[in-house]
C-alpha cells in the first residue's frame, strides 16, 4: 500500500494499534490519521449484514450519519425486502454509497479456488465458506 500511494505522491506513515484501540481511535475525528485498515468476514451472504453493521448498528459515529441522510431512506427500505428485490435494492444502495459518500474502500479481497479430479462429484459451493466437503462424492 505504501508503494502504491507513493506512486501518486502520498507519503504513508503506518502505525499499529490493538484492534479495540484502533476502533476507538478511528471514531474520534480529532485523531491525526485519515485511513484505517481492517478486515471483515461476513457471517451470512445477506448484503444487509455489511451495510447495516457498517452504517447503522455498530458503525463509528463518523459514518452513522449516513443512516440519517437521504441515503438512509433506501437503507431502511432495503431492510424490509426479501429475495431478489432485496438483493437488487442493496446493489443499488452499494452503488449510491460508493458514488455519493465513499466512507469505506476495499483495498483487497480474497479468492478461493478448488481443484478436483474427474472422479469427484457433488460439488456444492457455500456462498461464504467455500466447498461443502460433506457433500462431495465419488462418481461411478
Would the pTM count as exceeding 0.75? no
Length of the chain counted residue by residue: 140
**Average pLDDT of the residues in 64-70:** 70
pLDDT digits (tens, 9 = 90+) for 13-66: 888 888 778 877 876 778 887 777 777 777 778 888 777 766 665 555 555 666
pLDDT digits (tens, 9 = 90+) for 108-124: 666 778 899 999 999 99
Q: CB neighbours (10 Å) of residue 51?
A: 23
Residues 6+ apart with CB under 8 A from 114: 123, 130, 131
Amino acid at each position: 500500500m505504501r508503494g502504491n500511494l507513493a506512486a501518486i505522491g502520498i507519503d504513508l506513515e503506518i502505525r499499529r494499534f490493538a484492534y479495540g484501540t484502533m476502533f476507538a481511535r478511528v471514531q474520534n475525528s480529532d485523531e491525526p490519521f485519515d485511513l484505517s485498515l481492517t478486515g471483515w468476514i461476513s457471517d451470512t451472504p445477506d448484503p444487509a449484514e455489511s451495510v447495516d453493521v457498517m452504517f447503522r448498528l455498530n458503525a463509528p459515529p463518523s459514518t452513522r450519519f449516513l443512516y440519517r441522510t437521504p441515503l438512509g431512506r433506501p437503507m431502511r427500505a432495503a431492510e424490509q425486502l426479501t429475495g431478489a428485490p432485496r438483493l437488487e435494492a442493496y446493489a443499488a444502495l452499494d452503488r449510491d454509497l460508493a458514488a455519493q459518500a465513499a466512507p469505506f474502500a476495499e483495498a483487497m479481497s480474497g479468492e478461493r479456488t478448488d481443484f478436483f479430479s474427474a472422479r469427484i462429484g457433488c460439488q456444492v459451493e457455500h456462498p461464504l465458506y467455500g466447498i461443502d466437503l460433506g457433500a462431495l462424492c465419488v462418481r461411478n
